[in-house]
Amino acid sequence: MKSNMNRINQRMLALKQANKKALVTYIVSGDPSPDITLDAMHALVSNGADIIELGIPFSDPMAEGPVIQLGHERALVHNVSLTSTMAIVKQFRETDTDTPVVLMGYANPIERMGYSKFATIASDSGVDGVLTVDLPPEEAVALNVELKKVEIENIFLLAPTTTVQRIREVVSLASGFVYYVSLKGVTGAGNLDLKSVKDKLTLIRQHTDLPICVGFGIKDGASAKSVAEYADGAVVGSVFVDKMGALQNEHRDVVLSAVGQLTAEIRSGLDN
């Protein structure tokens, strides 16, 4: 029922036809300061990112490991919000009309804004998908209604612990792509188990034709490549946020160049 106009579907289809895998890169909006995010998004794209996941800073990011927690804290020092994050996406769209942008965050800032207002502004800003970590399908019904109205994809998570019956239920509500959480743990964890990823993706594919991107624990081109052997795309986050933190006192050109270089390395690993 989705129109094929959505950038996520277009991009995933184009990659499939080119026999390539999606590189999904995550940074936190406003980390380490709000004035760098727009240029960082462009640097990600020009060095090979296919989809940008933009983290909405939250005071209590329960699913994040220490690296991304600190990214949220750095952004919150500057009072970066859902509103200002969507304003950045709108600016991004002035020069990039192709690259899909997915907002990733937690339910409370969206609750506070109100689902309808959020969907309207997100659509107006050129947001393509929303992934709300603590809003599993059973609690997402009301938000889904609003997102559908404006043709924004609601990206749901599947996990190593998700049962078969539940996989069926979740994929029936999902659109855009399915985000498979590769491990039991928080973002940036070090216990990626390829065999279990392979087995679970095989199982998930029996129940959906949606593309599957895998995230959590992917640190470089090599791990992205190994995961992408079974998946349609790899999500890489903590290493970018770590870089942002390490270079927070450097000149913006240094940060942008480092972000670009890291992206190019992972892209190259993924494609080889």
Partner 1 sequence: MNDLTNVADIDFSSFPDKAGHFGIYGGRFVSETLISALDDLDLMYQRLKNDPVFQAEFDKDMAHYVGRPSPLYHAERWSEKIGGAQIYLKREDLNHTGAHKVNNTIGQALLAKYSGKTRIIAETGAGQHGVASATVAARLGLKCEVFMGEEDVRRQALNVYRMKLLGATVHSVTSGTRTLKDAMNEAMRDWVTNVDDTFYIIGTVAGPHPYPELVRDFQSIIGREARQQCLNQAGRLPDALVACVGGGSNAIGLFHPFLNDESVEMYGVEAGGDGVETGRHAAPLNDGIPGVLHGSRTYLMEDENGQIIDTHSVSAGLDYPGVGPEHSWLKDIGRVEYVAINDQEALAAFRELTQIEGIMPALETSHALAYAEKMARDMPKDKIIIVNLSGRGDKDILTMAELDGITV
Q: Out of 158, 171, 234, 239, name the contact with partner 1 by CB under 8 A.
A: 158
Of 16-24, 64-72, 93-101, 242-250, the window that binds partner 1 (rule: CB under 8 A) is 64-72
Contact flag: residue 196 with partner 1 (CB under 8 A): no
CA distance 258 to 206: 40
Q: Is 213 in the site for partner 1 (CB under 8 A)?
A: no
Binding of residue 48 to partner 1 (CB under 8 A) = no
Length of the chain, in residues: 272
Whether 265 is a known active-site residue: answer no
Q: Can residue 129 be called a binding residue for partner 1 (CB under 8 A)? A: no
Radius of gyration of the chain (CA): 17
The yes or no reply on residue 16 touching partner 1 (CB under 8 A) is no
160 in contact with partner 1 (CB under 8 A): yes
Is residue 112 close enough to count as binding partner 1 by CB under 8 A? yes
Min dist CB 14 to partner 1, Å, is 28
Q: Minimal distance in Å, beta carbon 136 to partner 1?
A: 6
Query: Catalytic: 64?
Result: yes
Buried b (16+ CB within 10 A) or exposed e, 110-125: beebebeebbebbbeb
The 3-state DSSP class for residue 86 equals: helix
Alpha-carbon distance of 23 to 247, in angstroms, equals 23
Q: Residue 51: left (phi > 0), alpha (psi -120 to 50), or beta? A: beta
Q: Of 48 and 245, which CB lies nearer to partner 1 in the complex structure? A: 245
Tell me how far apart the alpha carbons of residues 237 and 5 are, in angstroms, rounded to a whole number: 27
Catalytic machinery residues: 53, 64
